[in-house]
Structure 1
Amino acid sequence: MTVYDLPKLYTIFNACALLHIILGLVLIKMSRQKGHIVCMTIALLFSTAFLGCYLYYHYTVGHVQFAGTGLSRPIYFTILFTHIPLAVVNVVLIIMTVIPALRRRFDKHRRMAKYSVPIWLYVSVTGIIIYLMCYVWYGPPIRS
Structure 2
Amino acid sequence: MINNPITQLEQLTITSAAKSFLKETAKWAKFLSIMGFILIGLMLVFAIFSTTIFELAAQMQPNIPKGLGATMTATYLVLSVVYFFPVYYLLQFSMKMKKALATKSDETLTKSFEMLKSHYKFIGVFTIITLSLYALLFVAAAFGAL
* TM-score, with length taken from structure 2: 0.40
- Higher-Rg member (1/2): 2
* TM-score, with length taken from structure 1: 0.41
More helix by share: 2
Higher relative contact order (CA 8 A, sep 6+): 1
